[in-house]
Amino acid sequence: MSVKLRLSVMMFLQYAIWGSWAPVLSAYLQNDLGYSGIQVGLIYSLLPLATIISPFIAGQIADRYFASEKLIGIFQLLGGVLLIFIASITDYSTMIWWMFLYSLLYAPTLALTNSIAMINMEDTEKDFGVIRVWGTIGWIVAGLSLVYWRDLVAGGQVSAVQGDTLALAGIFSLVMGVLSFGLPKTPPRKEGASPWAFLEALKMLKSKNMAVFFIIAFIVATELQFYYVLTSPFLTSAQIGISNAKVSGVMIIAQLAEIVVMAFLLPRFLPKYGIRNVMLMGLVAWPLRYAIFAIGGPAWLVVASLALHGFCYVFFFTAAFIYIDEVAPKDIRHSAQSLITLVLLGFGNLLGALFSGWIKDTFTTSEMGTNWTAVFLVPLFLTIAAALAFVVFFKAEDKPTAQEA
């Protein structure tokens, strides 16, 4: 099996695991187990928290002591067993601790799979996108697999088995754990990067323009969790009426759009319109989506608006990583990527998961249920504020020089 094929399979499975549970676990926790919005938000905050912690533990182990492919194999095998076990848990206080342990196993593999791919590619700029897109395909296949499983076992009316979304993730994890030992050999570097590397990039924030950019990006990252945590409960509510069995298949619309935007639009829009205008297009897509969610109908429009995720995510977040790579001085470029990752995927997603769960509970009553219009007005106004701040205060031309950084 060629190196590219093995790396593509790796990416496929890595994101099939995540895509099995992340889009629809909240609906299971709310609709089947009766968890509150805050409880669901806390469970979704565990992976961002683990993302913050992992460079200090697992990242150093991979850099100094164990081959990356073996470490991924061990983590995914243990994670697979844990996920299948967690699928049988219904008690919240028990589940949250086991989910935190699982998150500590899975979070390091996100960075390790990227590292293995980049180290073993002949031309990273040319090949990484082609290999990484298989991760999005894996996410889509996971969603469709869950729909098929529920149709096959339960006629599409209910979950196939208790916690099937977690059980499916566990199966993918076990498969990846076994196959990971066949990945290209990637021995430890012995002198790995410091987990505090992102501190070097803090000097970039001396630039007012760069500080504004990081603040806006952080705010948008918190609002991303309104999509991940609350979309499946919203779609399965009486207001929209999609069944629990079908919701994972409906939500892959977002990933299909992500592939189209990533593969076809981003490469054309960046040179034509520039990085600032592309990020602004992405920012405008956020409040547009949340406006449709807040209006709450018709159902077909709400479902169609899931496609805006491709523009929201790719045109802003992917473009943001590209922008940081362009403006950061060469000697701190990797540190700058570590910093933006920590801000967005770590602290931004952590706060966003907690915040979105709290907002849902705030606008939920036992008599009336959840007021979804009020819930989605919150991210609507915050993303409008972020877009306006971007227009007024951010200028992509103001790149920090090596002296400023």
In tens, the pLDDT along 227-248 reads 999 999 999 999 999 988 889 9
Q: Place 5 in a pLDDT band, splitting at 50, 70 and 90.
A: very high
Percent over 90 (pLDDT), the chain = 63
Confidence (pTM) = 0.87
Identify whether residues 83 and 125 lie together within a single domain. yes
DSSP state of 317: I
Rounded to whole angstroms, the Cα distance separating 74 from 63 reads 16
> Do 101 and 71 contact (CB within 8 A), yes or no?
no
Give the pLDDT score at 18.
Answer: 96
Identify whether residues 102 and 221 lie together within a single domain. no
Rounded to whole angstroms, the Cα distance separating 309 from 382 reads 17
Rounded to whole angstroms, the Cα distance separating 45 from 351 reads 7
Rounded to whole angstroms, the Cα distance separating 33 from 92 reads 9
Q: Average pLDDT, stretch 260-272?
A: 90
Rounded to whole angstroms, the Cα distance separating 184 from 151 reads 38
Identify whether residues 238 and 355 lie together within a single domain. yes
- Amino acid sitting at position 298: P
How does pLDDT run across 192-217, given as a tens digit for each residue?
556 666 677 788 888 889 999 999 99
Q: Between 161 and 37, name the one with better pLDDT.
A: 37
Residue finishing a domain among 134, 160, 195: 195
Q: What angle do CA 114, 216, 27 make, to 5 degrees?
A: 65
Rounded to whole angstroms, the Cα distance separating 357 from 36 reads 8
Rounded to whole angstroms, the Cα distance separating 194 from 245 reads 45
Residue finishing a domain among 164, 195, 226: 195
Residue finishing a domain among 171, 195, 219: 195
Residue count of the chain, please give it: 405
Tokens of residue 127, six digits: 């090949």
Rounded to whole angstroms, the Cα distance separating 71 from 177 reads 9
* Helices 164-180, 68-86: inter-axial angle, 10-degree rounding: 160
> Do 100 and 46 contact (CB within 8 A), yes or no?
yes
Identify whether residues 224 and 315 lie together within a single domain. yes
Q: Average pLDDT, stretch 125-152?
A: 87
Q: Average pLDDT, stretch 82-109?
A: 96
> Do 120 and 186 contact (CB within 8 A), yes or no?
yes
Predicted confidence (pLDDT) at residue 323 exceeds the cutoff of 70: yes
Give the pLDDT score at 10.
Answer: 96
Q: Average pLDDT, stretch 178-201?
A: 76
Identify whether residues 343 and 394 lie together within a single domain. yes
Rounded to whole angstroms, the Cα distance separating 268 from 264 reads 7
Percent over 70 (pLDDT), the chain = 90
Please give the biggest Cα pair distance in the chain.
Answer: 64
Selection from 209, 218, 219, 210 nearest residue 383 by Cα: 219
Q: Average pLDDT, stretch 300-310?
A: 96
Q: Which helix (H) or strand (E) holds 369?
A: strand 369-370
> Do 164 and 146 contact (CB within 8 A), yes or no?
yes
Identify whether residues 42 and 119 lie together within a single domain. yes
CATH code (residue 308) = 1.20.1250.20
How does pLDDT run across 46-83, given as a tens digit for each residue?
999 998 887 776 666 655 677 889 999 999 999 999 99
Rounded to whole angstroms, the Cα distance separating 294 from 384 reads 14
* Helices 124-154, 164-180: inter-axial angle, 10-degree rounding: 140
Domain that holds residue 13: 1-195
Total tally of structural domains belonging to the chain: 2
Identify whether residues 203 and 183 lie together within a single domain. no
Identify whether residues 178 and 207 lie together within a single domain. no
Identify whether residues 141 and 265 lie together within a single domain. no
Q: Place 334 in a pLDDT band, splitting at 50, 70 and 90.
A: low
- Report the 10 Å Cβ neighbour count for 353: 27
Classify residue 101 by burial, with Cβ atoms within 10 Å: 0-12, 13-18, 19+.
middle
Secondary structure (3-state) at 365: strand
Classify residue 81 by burial, with Cβ atoms within 10 Å: 0-12, 13-18, 19+.
middle
Q: Between 157 and 77, name the one with better pLDDT.
A: 77
> Do 182 and 245 contact (CB within 8 A), yes or no?
no
Q: Average pLDDT, stretch 316-340?
A: 81
